A and B are shown apart, each in its own frame.
Chain A
Amino acid sequence: QSVLTQPPSVSGAPGQRVTISCTGSSSNIGAGYDVHWYQQLPGTAPKILIYGNSNRPSGVPDRFSGSKSGTSASLAITGLQAEDEADYYCQSYDSSLSGSRVFGTGTRVSVL
């Protein structure tokens, strides 16, 4: 049961900027819990992209950025590249579900 809602798909031309929203509620993002973002390239396992709302692990290009406000978070990709075509998932913690880390519904990014 996904309690974090993302748009099913977003698309953009190479070089453009796209954003992915992650909408939660007062028991998860709105309660102050951190949001993390994962990238899943076709046929591979997810990989951490952004942690702690806005931090990039070493090796992740600075084209990727994250932010959080209220009950929502966002992932932005600037200077979109063909290699960014993948599924993206947000993840947080929900205090209404015992011990539960929760994922977003996922967003497919397509490069036109």
Chain B
Amino acid sequence: EVQLLESGGGLVQPGGSLRLSCAASGFTFSNYAMAWVRQAPGKGLEWVSAISASGGSTYYADSVKGRFTISRDNSKNTLYLQMNSLRGEDTAVYYCAKDTGSGWYSYNWFDPWGQGTLVTVSS
């Protein structure tokens, strides 16, 4: 069974940093692209970032470009999201999601999703 377990969320002050982790199991992690998707309280879904299976290509939404960095360690089956210069509008549940392909292709989708980790940016 595919499992994705996020960790690292919490309360952080504006301008601060946080690193999220997503431990994957039940599939060959190094064969699939991975992504982060967030959901602000009571709001809809927003794609944040993605990384190819090898880690050689990364992609970011304009709202986080230059502040967030996605990475992966295929030897540890773990996905990361380094979040710097955090703002109030970054407050959300952050989901880790497995892509259905090895690269970041337009026709793929997310399946499955982790249970999410809450990031709260507030003073």
Contact residues in A for B47 (Cβ distance below 8 Å):
100-103
Q: How many A-B residue pairs have CB under 8 A?
A: 66
- Smallest Cβ distance from B23 to chain A, in angstroms? 15
Most buried by A among B45, B47, B50, B116: B45
The 8 A CB mask of A92-112 against B (1 = contact, 0 = none) is: 010101111111111000000
Contact residues in B for A98 (Cβ distance below 8 Å):
59, 62
Q: Contacting chain B: which of A11-19, A47-55, A70-78?
A: A47-55
A-contacting residues, B8-50, CB 8 Å: 35, 37, 44-47, 50
Q: Is A64's beta carbon under 8 Å from chain B? A: no
Q: A52-B107, A100-B59 are in contact. List 5 more A-B contacts (CB 8 A).
A: A33-B107, A46-B45, A46-B95, A51-B100, A103-B47
Contact residues in A for B59 (Cβ distance below 8 Å):
98-100
On whether A46 and B109 interact (CB within 8 A), knowing A99-B104, A106-B44, the answer reads no
- By beta carbon, the residue of chain B nearest A105 is B44
Bound CA–CA A46/B104 (angstroms) = 20
Interface residues of B (CB under 8 A from A): 35, 37, 44-47, 50, 59-63, 95, 100, 104, 106-107, 109-116
On whether A93 and B115 interact (CB within 8 A), knowing A45-B95, A100-B61, the answer reads no
Contact residues in B for A97 (Cβ distance below 8 Å):
61-62
The answer on a CB contact under 8 Å between B60 and A91 is no
The answer on a CB contact under 8 Å between A46 and B113 is yes
Interface residues of A (CB under 8 A from B): 1-2, 33-34, 36, 38, 44-48, 51-52, 57, 89, 91, 93, 95, 97-106
The answer on a CB contact under 8 Å between A103 and B45 is yes
- Smallest Cβ distance from A3 to chain B, in angstroms? 11
Contact residues in B for A47 (Cβ distance below 8 Å):
111-113
The answer on a CB contact under 8 Å between B111 and A48 is yes
The answer on a CB contact under 8 Å between B113 and A51 is no
Bound CA–CA A57/B95 (angstroms) = 21
Interface pairs (29), CB distance under 8 Å: A1-B63, A44-B115, A45-B113, A45-B114, A46-B45, A46-B95, A47-B111, A48-B109, A48-B110, A51-B100, A51-B109, A51-B111, A52-B107, A89-B45, A91-B110, A93-B107, A97-B61, A99-B50, A99-B59, A99-B60, A99-B104, A100-B59, A100-B61, A101-B35, A101-B50, A103-B37, A103-B45, A103-B47, A106-B45
